């Protein structure tokens, strides 16, 4: 019988429930078990594709073209295995399916109701994933007490009733605040979260106590007494310097073994943490430091900057930094500030233009690309970054009045134009060119050397492309179209010859990077940035 572990949040969101879930999945995988992870997002959107990145963070794209919450990315990075769009469940999907089934006549003669139909549909989806795995972890987004979580908690309890408690375990990831005016860790919010969970019929098997500091014995005992949970199952998870340390932290607390005990399971093999530890220690003891400018726009919300909009790019940079044994300082640049002339790229060893949509800050991004091209600064363009690099090259090298029709539909030279298959699309949800597509890499190009292959699959999320009408003009002026779709129509990679590193891709290689297997393209970019820094140092010495 397959087993299920529900991970539920308490007190506040944003305390690392996703990382905790990914870490537990990693531990169980190290024990030789076949693991899958589901993310439940209780919003009415059918997927994350239509959400605002400044509110929800970046949209994660799966191999099969799902547009999903970034937690799925964390699971993939820790598990080192691609997950499918069916690993994401939202309220919108559940209701859409139920209403479609009702209209088809699947429930003829029945009243379709919140109970039992909604939880039944939720369980159906969870058990579908369970069919091919030993254990499925299910992270329920938000926190217990949110109105929108209720059907999912009901479904969890109902699944337990269907298959027995020995096949289901519950983990509450809670937050332990230390109010600054008393400087003492408080357990009360967690006690209340446990109480709320019980109101849904769920007694947590484990409490993971997240906080700035470790949970001391006094507070552990207090939680034990007030919540009737043995202290052995109350796990302290204080802040650490890297998220990749968390599986090791949980292993030290024996969480994996304790979990298997509650589920009547045994390890299938002894874990080998050495490769993981080696990769972390490289990042902890960097030999050098470089500066990279990441030029974005989804950075401000109120008084705060939300770097989560570029989470995978950030992770891919860090994965490649540890791989190269260096530290990367990311300078988050708002492209609107470049337009206002407030930015100076001095001391910057590389520039990244990540994915993006719409016209805000576009000219600032184009200025950054021009600077990188003219000053031999390593440049990496990702999706929108490729499109704007083509616009920059068309304007300043080919001398064309050029733009993307996404920004200026009436422009004279539409070097970036809507994909043919996108022209008549009316519905915005899940209709971009999404998921994994093959690119054929040209001989004697940097990109072919980097991937060390004639072809490569990367994930995509776009509606626009380099207009095939301009391929030959761009090439005549020196832009190398170094990777194309198998039919030769779509530009997948571009590069410049007489530049230390000027490469852009229509894809998002950041979605296939992990600590143990960093992206070859990011690795090469980071190496080029390091080289740029060394050259600069030499120059300064000579002066
Ligand atoms: N806005 C561009 C397009 O839709 C680029 C998308 C992206 O960067 N992911 O084609």
CATH classification of the domain holding 403: 3.40.50.880
Determine the distance separating the centroid of ligand 1 and the alpha carbon of 401, expressed in angstroms. Answer: 21
Residue 444 lies inside a defined structural domain of this protein: yes
The catalytically annotated residue of 67, 458, 465, 510 is: 510
Residue 280 lies inside a defined structural domain of this protein: no
What is the reported pTM? 0.94
The catalytically annotated residue of 46, 383, 398, 529 is: 383
Residue 305: predicted pLDDT? 55
Residue 278 lies inside a defined structural domain of this protein: no
Q: For the chain, how many residues are written?
A: 543
pLDDT along the chain (543 residues), means of 10: 97 91 98 98 92 82 96 96 96 98 96 96 98 97 94 98 97 95 92 95 96 93 92 95 95 96 96 95 88 83 65 95 93 92 92 94 97 97 98 98 97 96 88 96 98 98 97 98 97 97 98 97 97 79 71
What CATH number does the domain containing 84 carry? Answer: 3.40.50.300
Q: Are residues 393 and 530 in the same domain?
A: yes
Residue 286: predicted pLDDT? 87
Residue 52: predicted pLDDT? 81
Residue 203 lies inside a defined structural domain of this protein: yes
Tell me if 207 sits within 8 A of 172, measured CB to CB.
Answer: yes
Give 234's strand partners: 207
Q: Are residues 17 and 117 in the same domain?
A: yes
Q: Are residues 477 and 440 in the same domain?
A: yes
Q: What is the pLDDT of residues 400-459, one digit of tens each?
A: 999 999 999 999 999 999 998 888 998 889 899 999 999 999 999 999 999 999 999 999
Q: Are residues 374 and 420 in the same domain?
A: yes
What does the alpha-carbon distance between residue 146 and residue 127 come to, in Å, rounded to a whole number?
A: 24
Residues 6+ apart with CB under 8 A from 127: 159
Please choose from 390, 406, 467 the residue to mutate so as to test ligand 1's pocket, defined by most ligand atoms within 8 A of CB: 406
Alpha-helix residue ranges (DSSP H) falling in 456-499: 471-476
Query: Could you tell me the maximum CA-CA distance found in the chain, to the nearest angstrom?
Result: 87
CA-to-CA separations, 108 to 103, 117, 118, 309, 456, in angstroms, rounded: 9, 13, 17, 45, 49
Task: Write down which residue in 272, 296, 321 finishes a domain.
Answer: 272
- Our answer to whether residue 117 is catalytic in this structure is no
- Our answer to whether residue 56 is catalytic in this structure is no
Residue 357 lies inside a defined structural domain of this protein: yes
Determine the distance separating the centroid of ligand 1 and the alpha carbon of 356, expressed in angstroms. Answer: 6
The CA R_g of the chain, rounded to the nearest whole Å, is 25
Q: Are residues 226 and 303 in the same domain?
A: no
Name the closest-CA residue to atom 7, ligand 1.
355
What atom in ligand 1 is closest to the CA of residue 465?
10
Spatial CA neighbour of 509 closest among 393, 404, 355: 355
What does the alpha-carbon distance between residue 523 and residue 320 come to, in Å, rounded to a whole number?
A: 5
Q: Are residues 347 and 231 in the same domain?
A: no
Task: Write down which residue in 272, 297, 329 finishes a domain.
Answer: 272
Determine the distance separating the centroid of ligand 1 and the alpha carbon of 386, expressed in angstroms. Answer: 9
Task: For the chain, give percent helix, strand, coil, nearest 5.
Answer: 45, 25, 35
What does the alpha-carbon distance between residue 514 and residue 517 come to, in Å, rounded to a whole number?
A: 5
- Our answer to whether residue 508 is catalytic in this structure is yes
Count Cα atoms within 13 angstroms, Cβ side, for 373: 27
The residue range of the domain holding 523 is: 287-542
Where are the extended beta strands (E) located within 42-134? 59-61, 67-69, 88-90
What does the alpha-carbon distance between residue 166 and residue 260 come to, in Å, rounded to a whole number?
A: 10
Residue 510 lies inside a defined structural domain of this protein: yes
Sign of the torsion angle spanned by Cα atoms 259, 262, 268, 269? positive
Determine the distance separating the centroid of ligand 1 and the alpha carbon of 516, expressed in angstroms. Answer: 28
Q: What is the pLDDT of residues 105-153, one digit of tens each?
A: 999 999 999 999 999 999 999 999 999 999 999 999 999 999 999 999 9
The catalytically annotated residue of 139, 499, 508, 529 is: 508
Q: Are residues 309 and 432 in the same domain?
A: yes
- Ligand 1 site residues (CB inside 6 A) read 355-357, 383-384, 387, 406, 461-464
Spatial CA neighbour of 292 closest among 361, 345, 337: 345
For 314-325, b where at least 16 C-beta lie within 10 A, e where not — what string? bbbbbbbbbbbe
Q: Are residues 42 and 156 in the same domain?
A: yes
Q: Are residues 227 and 86 in the same domain?
A: yes
Residue 536: predicted pLDDT? 74
Residue 199: predicted pLDDT? 94
Residue 36: predicted pLDDT? 98
What atom in ligand 1 is closest to the CA of residue 355?
8
Pairing of strands 350-353, 379-382: parallel
């021009």: which residue's tokens? 370
Name the closest-CA residue to atom 8, ligand 1.
355
Q: Are residues 268 and 291 in the same domain?
A: no
Give 162's strand partners: none
Residue 358 lies inside a defined structural domain of this protein: yes
Determine the distance separating the centroid of ligand 1 and the alpha carbon of 474, expressed in angstroms. Answer: 20
Domain count of the chain? 2
What does the alpha-carbon distance between residue 79 and residue 23 come to, in Å, rounded to a whole number?
A: 9
């790229």: which residue's tokens? 345
Element (H, E) at 379: strand 379-382
Q: Are residues 251 and 323 in the same domain?
A: no
Q: Are residues 327 and 262 in the same domain?
A: no
């Amino acid at each position: 019988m397959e087993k299920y572990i529900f991970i539920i949040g308490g007190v506040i969101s944003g305390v690392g429930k996703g990382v905790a879930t990914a870490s537990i999945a990693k531990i169980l995988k190290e024990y030789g078990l076949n693991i899958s992870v589901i993310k439940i997002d209780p919003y009415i959107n059918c997927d994350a594709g239509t959400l605002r990145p400044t509110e929800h963070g970046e949209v994660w794209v799966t191999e099969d073209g799902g547009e999903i919450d970034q937690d799925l990315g964390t699971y993939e990075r820790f598990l080192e295995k691609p997950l499918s769009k069916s690993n994401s469940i939202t309220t919108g999907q559940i209701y859409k399916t139920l209403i479609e089934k009702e209209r088809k006549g699947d429930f003829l003669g029945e009243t379709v109701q919140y109970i039992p139909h909604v939880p039944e549909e939720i369980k159906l989806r969870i058990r579908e994933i369970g069919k091919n795995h030993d254990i499925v972890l299910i992270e329920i987004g938000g926190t217990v007490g949110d109105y929108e979580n209720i059907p999912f908690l009901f479904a969890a309890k109902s699944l337990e009733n269907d298959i027995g408690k020995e096949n289901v375990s519950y983990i509450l990831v809670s937050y332990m605040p230390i109010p600054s005016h008393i400087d003492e860790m408080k357990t009360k919010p967690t006690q209340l979260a446990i109480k709320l969970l019980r109101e849904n019929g769920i007694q947590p098997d484990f409490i993971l106590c997240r906080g700035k500091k470790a949970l001391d014995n006094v507070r552990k005992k207090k939680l034990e007494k007030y919540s009737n949970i043995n202290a052995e199952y109350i796990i302290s998870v204080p802040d650490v310097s890297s998220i990749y340390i968390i599986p090791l932290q949980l292993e030290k607390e024996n969480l994996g073994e304790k979990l298997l005990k509650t589920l009547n399971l045994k390890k299938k093999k002894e874990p080998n943490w050495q490769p993981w530890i080696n990769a972390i220690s490289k990042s902890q003891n960097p030999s050098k430091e470089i500066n990279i400018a990441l030029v974005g726009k989804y950075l401000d919300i109120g008084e705060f900057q939300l770097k989560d909009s570029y989470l995978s790019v950030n992770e891919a940079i860090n994965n490649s930094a540890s791989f190269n044994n260096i530290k990367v300082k990311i300078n988050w640049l708002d492209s609107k500030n470049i337009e206002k002339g407030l930015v100076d790229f001095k001391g910057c060893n590389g520039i990244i233009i990540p994915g993006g949509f719409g016209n805000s800050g576009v000219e600032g991004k184009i200025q950054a690309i021009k600077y990188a091209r003219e000053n031999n600064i390593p440049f990496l363009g990702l999706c929108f970054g490729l499109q704007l690099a083509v616009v920059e090259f068309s304007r300043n090298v080919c001398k064309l009045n050029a733009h993307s029709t996404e920004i200026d539909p009436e422009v004279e030279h539409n070097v970036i134009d809507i994909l043919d298959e996108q022209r008549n699309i009316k519905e915005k949800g899940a209709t971009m060119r999404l998921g994994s597509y093959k690119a054929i890499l040209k001989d004697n190009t940097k990109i072919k050397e980097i991937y060390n292959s004639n072809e490569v699959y990367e994930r995509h999320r776009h509606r626009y492309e380099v207009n095939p009408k301009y391929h030959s003009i761009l090439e005549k002026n020196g832009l190398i179209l170094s990777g194309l779709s198998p039919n030769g129509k779509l530009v997948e990679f571009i590069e410049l010859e007489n530049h230390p590193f000027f490469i852009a891709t229509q894809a998002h290689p950041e979605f296939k990077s992990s600590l143990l297997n960093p992206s070859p393209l990011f690795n090469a970019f980071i190496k080029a940035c390091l080289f740029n820094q060394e050259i600069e140092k030499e120059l300064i010495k000579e002066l």
